[in-house]
C-alpha cells in the first residue's frame, strides 16, 4: 500500500509537511499553528509507516482508522493526507475557504479519507469506542483505531466516560494518543486545569499506558506497532511533544495555539524549516 521509508526519509517528509502547514495557515489567515506542528511527527509515522490504507480507495473495508479528536489541529492531517496521495497538494491552499473540502475542523462527509467530524472537544474517544464495538460485532478483528487527542481537551468529562467503557469492554484495538504539549488556548495546562499525574490517572481507569517522545519518529513507530500486541486492554500513548516544533519562535509559546503566522512570520518559519531539511539531508548523505 505504501513504500517503506527510512527514518531520515520520514524526517524529511515531516519537515515538508510542516512547511505546508505554515503555507496553509498563512494563506488562510486563521487557524492553529502550535498543535499541528507538534503533531507532525506522529502523523508522519502513522501515514507513512504504521497504517494500513489505500488513498485511492479511502473506504476500503480493511483500512485502519485515524480519528482526530482535537479537530482544530486538522491542518496536520490535511497536509499529511495530501503527501500520502489522497488529493493534490494544491488543494491545501483552500484551507478554511468557503466551499472548500478543507474546513477549519474536519468534516467527515466533505473529504474522503476523513473518518470523523470533530469540533466540540472530547468526542473522539467515544467515537473510537463506538467503532471498536461495531468492529467486534462484525467479527472485524484485524483493523486498528488510532485516536489522537489534545491534552487540554481531556478536561472534558465525556473523555473519562469513554475511558471507563473502553476498559469495561476491553477494546484492545484502540490506541489513543494524547498530544502532551502542555498548552491550551488560555495558557499552560497545569495552570488552567492541572492534569498530572496523567499516567496514573489512565492506569487507574484500566488502560495500558506508554510515555514517549512524540517528536521522535522512530519511537512513535515502535510504540504504535508494539501497541497492537497489548491484547488485554486499550492502550494510551502519552506523546510528549513540543508545540510549534521546528519553528523556533513558536516553540513552547501557548500564544501560537490558536494563531496563524503573518506573511513575514511565515517567510521566517519556512526559511528555518528549509535549513532543517538541508541539515537532515546533509547528515545522511
Whether 1 is covered by a domain: the verdict is no
Between the alpha carbon of residue 234 and those of residues 137, 207, 214, the distances in Å are 17, 5, 19
Strand partners for 236: 176, 209
Query: What is the rounded average pLDDT for all residues in the chain?
Result: 96
30-34, 138-142, 271-275: lowest mean pLDDT where? 138-142
Q: Where are the alpha helices (DSSP H) in the chain?
A: 7-28, 34-45, 74-84, 124-137, 157-168, 189-192, 198-204, 217-226, 263-283
Q: What is the mean pLDDT of residues 256-266?
A: 97
Burial class (CB in 10 A: 0-12, 13-18, 19+), 161: middle
C-alpha cell at 9: 526519509
> How sure is the predictor about 281, in pLDDT bands with cuts at 50, 70 and 90?
confident
Domain extent, residue 213, equals 7-283
Mean pLDDT of 1-22: 91
CA torsion sign, 109 to 159 to 157 to 196? Answer: negative
**Is the pLDDT at 3 greater than 90, yes or no?**
no
Confidence band, pLDDT 50/70/90 cuts, at residue 67 = very high
Residue 130: inside a domain, yes or no? yes
Q: Does the pLDDT at position 285 exceed 70? A: no
What order of strands is seen across the sheet that includes strand 235-240? 65-68, 145-150, 174-180, 235-240, 208-213
| Across 45-69, average pLDDT | 97
Place of cell 501497541: 227
Buried b (16+ CB within 10 A) or exposed e, 102-129: bbbebbeeebebbbbbbeebbbbbbbbb
User: Each residue of 204-237: pLDDT tens digit?
Assistant: 999 999 999 999 999 999 999 999 999 999 999 9
Query: 121 Cβ partners below 8 Å, 6+ apart?
Result: 69, 70, 71, 150, 152, 153, 156
User: The whole model's pTM is what?
Assistant: 0.96
Question: How many separate domains does the chain show?
Answer: 1
CATH number of the domain enclosing 257? 3.40.50.970
Identify whether 2 is part of a domain: no
Q: What is the mean pLDDT of residues 231-259?
A: 97
> pLDDT at position 138, please?
93
Task: Report which of 22, 9, 7 is spatially closest to residue 273, judged by C-alpha positions.
Answer: 22
The answer as to whether 85 is a domain residue is yes
Residue 225 inside a domain? The answer is yes
Amino acid at each position: 500500500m505504501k513504500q517503506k521509508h527510512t527514518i531520515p526519509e520520514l524526517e524529511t517528509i515531516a519537515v515538508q509537511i510542516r512547511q505546508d502547514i505554515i503555507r496553509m495557515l498563512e494563506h488562510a489567515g486563521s487557524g492553529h499553528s502550535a498543535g499541528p506542528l507538534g503533531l507532525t511527527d506522529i502523523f508522519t509515522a502513522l501515514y507513512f509507516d504504521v497504517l494500513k490504507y489505500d488513498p485511492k480507495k479511502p473506504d476500503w473495508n480493511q483500512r485502519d482508522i485515524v480519528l482526530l479528536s482535537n479537530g482544530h489541529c486538522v491542518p496536520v492531517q490535511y497536509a499529511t493526507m495530501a503527501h500520502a496521495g489522497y488529493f493534490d497538494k494544491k488543494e491545501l491552499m483552500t484551507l478554511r475557504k468557503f466551499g472548500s473540502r478543507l474546513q477549519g475542523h474536519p468534516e467527515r462527509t466533505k473529504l474522503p479519507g476523513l473518518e470523523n467530524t470533530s469540533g466540540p472537544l472530547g468526542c473522539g474517544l467515544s467515537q473510537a469506542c463506538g467503532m471498536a464495538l461495531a468492529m467486534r460485532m462484525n467479527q472485524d478483528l484485524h483493523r486498528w483505531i488510532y485516536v489522537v487527542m489534545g491534552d487540554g481537551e481531556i478536561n472534558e468529562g465525556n473523555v473519562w466516560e469513554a475511558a471507563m467503557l473502553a476498559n469495561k469492554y476491553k477494546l484492545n484495538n484502540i490506541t489513543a494518543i494524547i498530544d502532551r504539549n502542555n498548552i491550551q488556548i488560555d495558557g499552560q495546562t497545569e495552570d488552567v486545569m492541572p492534569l498530572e499525574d496523567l499516567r496514573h490517572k489512565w492506569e487507574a481507569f484500566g488502560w495500558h499506558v506508554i510515555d514517549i517522545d512524540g517528536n521522535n519518529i522512530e519511537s512513535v513507530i515502535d510504540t504504535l506497532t508494539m501497541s497492537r500486541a497489548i491484547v488485554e486492554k486499550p492502550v494510551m500513548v502519552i506523546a510528549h511533544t513540543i508545540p510549534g516544533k521546528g519553528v523556533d519562535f513558536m516553540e513552547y509559546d501557548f500564544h501560537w495555539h490558536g494563531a496563524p503566522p503573518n506573511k513575514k512570520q511565515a517567510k521566517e518559519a519556512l526559511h528555518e524549516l528549509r535549513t532543517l531539511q538541508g541539515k537532515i539531508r546533509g547528515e545522511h548523505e
